[in-house]
Homo-oligomer: A and B are copies of this chain.
Amino acid sequence: MLDQLREYMLGPTRFMNVLSCFELGIIDELRRNPGSTAVELGAVVGARPDAVEQLLHLPVKDGLVAYDVETGTYLLDGLAAVGDEDLHRVLAIMNATKMVVLRQSFYLTESVRTATTVGLKTLYGHDGNLYEALEEHRDLRDAWATMMDTVTAHIDPWFFDNIDIPPGSKVLDLAGNTGLGAILAYRLTSAPNVHVTTFDLPEKQAECLMNFKAADLEQHCSFIGGDAFHAVPKGFDVVLIKHFVDMFDKNQVLTVLRNAYQALNPGGTLHILGPVYSENLEESYGADFFPTYFLGCTMGQGGPQKLSTYRRWLQSCGFSVTKAIAQDLAEMPADALVAHGILSATKFA
């Protein structure tokens, strides 16, 4: 157990040590000039050779970089075998972890006690959640959006491949933000005569309608303003809830699910997309990441659940669950932290 506790202790320094080797340009320089000394590396990246030596101890120890004692030179070892796409994805996640998590997580305990994001308040003077802070703070937005691009690039196509939107459906994208989800839904659905309505807070309306116009989809997409926790519009054949239920505690999720039930016509179907924990938590790296991310850095509440938990919650709201599937981490790149899940559930006619 003490060796396990030691591993926790070393997490923050290992993280920043390795990331800093990339940030300083040491890794790029070793790719260009294998066999560089600490003096040569320091001159190129603008750091003292003593500091370069210190920072390369861990990458050498862990096999990312090799060190030749005779010549005092470094070259890429394990990192040489990591492809560009993989490295781009890993660095996007590491940078987002630095920007969104590292300092903010300092305030995790206080954030849990107050159910607010104390780190965003303290470091950015921001009252509210991360998603609101992204709009005001470019450093957060750039880091977060770059990460999300790498995480979600394959997620929406996978979602629409796995759900059924019948021809002529009236679709509601619940908490659909500024309409990008509606546009994707319209485009990735092969069914004819589908109409998609984005439902979100009224202040999203102007930007949402601009997005529909820019996509030339004003005939097929529309916007309704409101609050998903209060009342939602009715009369839909399909309701989509994407990247939303993981952000809230159980009672709030249940409120949204009940409102989605009200929004559906009899026989209509709700489809949920979001990160999920594996049924066996030991297979889930999400459990190592999301609690601190959501409670301390993002929402002050929330966190993903297992598919079986979402299934139970849906049933308690009157739904009949027809599908519950999750990505298999074993088939994803070895650095993947997040498995997404899809739940489909029908309101009986």
Contact = CB atoms under 8 A, between A and B. Distances in A.
B103 A103 contact: yes
Question: Range of interface residues on chain A?
Answer: 35 or more
A281 to B, nearest CB: 5
A72 to B, nearest CB: 12
Interface string A270-299: 000000010001101101111111111000
Interface stretch (A14-22, A194-202, A207-215, A227-235): A14-22
A28 interface: no
A250 interface: yes
Interface in A47-101: 47-48, 50-51, 53-55, 57-58, 60-64, 78-79, 81-82, 86, 90, 93-94, 97-98, 101
A11 B15 contact: yes
Contacts of A337: 6, 9-10
B18 A8 contact: yes
Given A8-B14, A9-B97, A16-B292, A287 B2 contact: no
A259 B192 CA distance: 85
A206 interface: no
Given A94-B9, A250-B50, A335-B6, A106 B20 contact: no
Contacts of A336: 6
Contacts of A47: 112-113
The binding surface of chain A is classed by DSSP as helix
A115 B50 CA distance: 11
Given A13-B101, A48-B249, A334 B6 contact: yes
A3 interface: yes
A228 B60 CA distance: 33
A98 B110 CA distance: 14
Contacts of A57: 277, 281, 287, 291
B106 A51 contact: no
Interface of A: 1-20, 23-24, 46-48, 50-51, 53-55, 57-58, 60-64, 78-79, 81-82, 86, 90, 93-94, 97-98, 101-103, 105-106, 108-109, 112-113, 115, 249-250, 277, 281-282, 284-285, 287-296, 301-303, 333-337
5 contacts: A5-B18, A5-B90, A6-B334, A20-B108, A57-B281
